[in-house]
């Protein structure tokens, strides 16, 4: 019989001090009974009730599973190293505080975007460009051609909404937005940095094991 272990890249656990394989990895085996037994195997016991990150490697899990099933073949899948983010209690979210945070961030982004757009239009002499376009199409010089500026003013926010793929909580498609992609890249870099730091601590004998 072959037991497959797929380690998650990141696991978040709270309100429990006994960490089992079920918290850290997906288990696959021909028998459901074996799967449940493997999932209940203890990988780590948290000794300090404080928020912290722990390094979990596939070798840690393989040793535990092989000790429990010495005659079975264990096949590792997925990640080699993973981060366990532990918190003794579940984080509490205050909806009022979250609402005001969103308002502040939205106001800052709105102000910054407005200044950036205005600065861009001034630097590129955008008014002159619109006036030139008006002269090309109508033959007349108009410093403020409304038939161009009004559609442009309407089209810009529409283009921004289409680019970011949603209005409020409504999405236009299931594709991730540019912000979500950048957040994902940031989280990947953050997790890699945490893993490197935890790995170095373990090598120097400062780790959790």
Report yes or no on 65 lying in a domain.
Answer: yes
pLDDT at site 170: 77
Claim to verify: residue 7 and residue 82 sit in the same structural domain:
yes
Task: Tokens 């799967």: give the residue.
Answer: 35
Structural domain tally of the chain? 3
Last residue of a domain, one of 87, 110, 132: 87
> Residues 86, 87, 93, 98: what is their CA dihedral angle, to the nearest 10 degrees?
-60
- CA dist., res. 204 & res. 199, Å (int): 9
Q: What is the DSSP string of 130-190?
A: HHHHHHHHHSS--SS-HHHHHHHHHHHHHHHHHHHTEETTEESSSSPPHHHHHHHHHHHHH
Claim to verify: residue 101 and residue 128 sit in the same structural domain:
no
Claim to verify: residue 26 and residue 76 sit in the same structural domain:
yes
Claim to verify: residue 115 and residue 50 sit in the same structural domain:
no
Per-residue pLDDT of the chain (209 residues; tens, 9 = 90+): 799 999 999 999 998 889 999 999 999 998 899 999 999 999 999 988 889 999 999 999 999 999 999 988 999 988 899 999 999 888 777 889 888 998 998 899 889 988 998 898 889 888 888 899 999 999 888 888 999 999 988 998 888 888 777 776 777 778 888 888 888 999 999 989 999 999 998 888 776 55
Claim to verify: residue 69 and residue 128 sit in the same structural domain:
no
pLDDT at site 159: 84
Report yes or no on 203 lying in a domain.
Answer: no
Claim to verify: residue 59 and residue 7 sit in the same structural domain:
yes
Q: Which domain holds residue 114?
A: 93-119
Claim to verify: residue 141 and residue 175 sit in the same structural domain:
yes
pLDDT at site 15: 86
In sign, the C-alpha dihedral spanning 125, 131, 133, 135 is: negative
Report yes or no on 205 lying in a domain.
Answer: no
Beta carbons within 8 Å of 59's beta carbon, 6+ residues apart: none
Claim to verify: residue 102 and residue 131 sit in the same structural domain:
no
Report yes or no on 69 lying in a domain.
Answer: yes
- Chain center to CA of 158: 26
Report yes or no on 209 lying in a domain.
Answer: no
pLDDT at site 208: 59
């Amino acid at each position: 019989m072959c037991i497959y272990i797929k380690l998650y890249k990141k696991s978040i656990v709270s309100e429990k001090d006994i960490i089992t394989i079920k918290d850290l990895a997906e288990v696959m085996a021909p028998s459901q009974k074996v799967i449940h037994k493997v999932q209940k195997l203890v990988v780590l016991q948290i000794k300090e009730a404080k928020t912290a990150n722990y390094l979990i490697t596939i070798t840690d899990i393989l040793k535990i599973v092989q000790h429990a099933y010495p005659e079975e073949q264990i096949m590792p899948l997925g990640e080699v190293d993973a981060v366990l983010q532990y918190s003794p209690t579940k984080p509490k979210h205050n909806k009022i505080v979250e609402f005001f945070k969103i308002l502040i961030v939205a106001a800052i982004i709105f102000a910054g975007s407005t200044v950036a757009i205005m600065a861009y239009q001034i630097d590129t002499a955008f008014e002159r460009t619109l006036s030139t376009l008006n002269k090309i199409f109508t033959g007349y010089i108009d410093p403020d051609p409304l038939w161009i500026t009004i559609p442009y003013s309407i089209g810009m926010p529409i283009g921004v909404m289409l680019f970011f793929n949603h209005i409020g909580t409504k999405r236009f498609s299931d594709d991730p937005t540019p912000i979500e992609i950048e957040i994902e890249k940031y989280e990947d870099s953050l997790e890699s940095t945490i893993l490197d730091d935890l790995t170095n601590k373990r090598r120097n004998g400062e780790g959790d094991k």
